[in-house]
Structure 1
């Protein structure tokens, strides 16, 4: 008898995920919720039609295992790359304030006509980054080994 995979099964592996539809965007959104990144780690490459962010991602997939083993929660550096981007806009952030650290709350997909649409990165503090895209093309890849989360806490949100 086969058994369904569990979220914890991926706890020890580096992530490398691709999203090509709305459902898989939601999976990536859940995994990068509460990622933090300096504003200087946003890279828009118009000729390559790519928007990339270097994130410090909380390892949600490792949370239960860390609690069972009574060890620190972890973060990992990850790259979120959005492909087939035709334009980028932002609100509520000032790219000139180079010391700003942003907190990512979610990634959403807003469909348009004929497969086009928008990837919307919602940030804490009413900020947002919008990427107009020809199709859903997201990649999330861990690029370092995990490290103990400096806060030693699970990210939380006021209710």
Structure 2
């Protein structure tokens, strides 16, 4: 198959469910370098749900030349009892954060702590009764300006 034909092949939208640390590692890999507006994150104490919308870098869609795509995606965590944020201004609704990783640390199984780590030291910590996260692409797709790169010492 030629590169031109392969490049035009339709991409399937992601729909992932994470119920344990290994599942969440896969979700985290797909979300590395996603950009998130501070105003696109929220916690509903009544629903025990934390939600964020983002523009994720679709690592699975890149080609050999490093041309990639960004996709609009949503991620939510259920069974959240407490949500804490630090290292960024929650009042700066238009502030943009770059998501580096999402991890889970079990405490008193099945409960534990989800940590969303952002570039520059920002973090969101979620205390959960059990891990249940869902990631879903929401349909918007566009060419990425550049492939994210990280300095590794």
Measured after TM superposition, the shift of residue 43 of structure 1 is: 1.4
- In structure 1, the residue corresponding to 2:30 is in which secondary structure? helix
Measured after TM superposition, the shift of residue 96 of structure 1 is: 1.1
- In structure 1, the residue corresponding to 2:28 is in which secondary structure? helix
Query: TM-score, normalized by length of structure 1?
Result: 0.86
- In structure 2, the residue corresponding to 1:145 is in which secondary structure? strand
Distance 1:136 1:96 in 2: 28
Residue matched to 2:6: none
Question: Mapping of 1:1-159 within 5 angstroms?
Answer: 12-63=11-62, 66-67=63-64, 72-149=67-144, 151=145, 153-159=146-152
Return closer, same or farther for 1:90/1:73 CA change in 2, 3 Å cut-off. same
Return closer, same or farther for 1:35/1:71 CA change in 2, 3 Å cut-off. closer
Measured after TM superposition, the shift of residue 144 of structure 1 is: 1.6
Uncovered stretches (5+) of structure 2, i.e. residues with no partner: 1-9
Residue matched to 2:4: none
Measured after TM superposition, the shift of residue 36 of structure 1 is: 0.1
4+ residue segments displaced more than 4 Å: none
Return the structure number with greater strand share.
2
Q: Is the 8 A contact 2:66 2:147 kept in 1?
A: no
Measured after TM superposition, the shift of residue 71 of structure 1 is: 8.5
RMSD, aligned α-carbons: 1.4
Measured after TM superposition, the shift of residue 90 of structure 1 is: 1.1
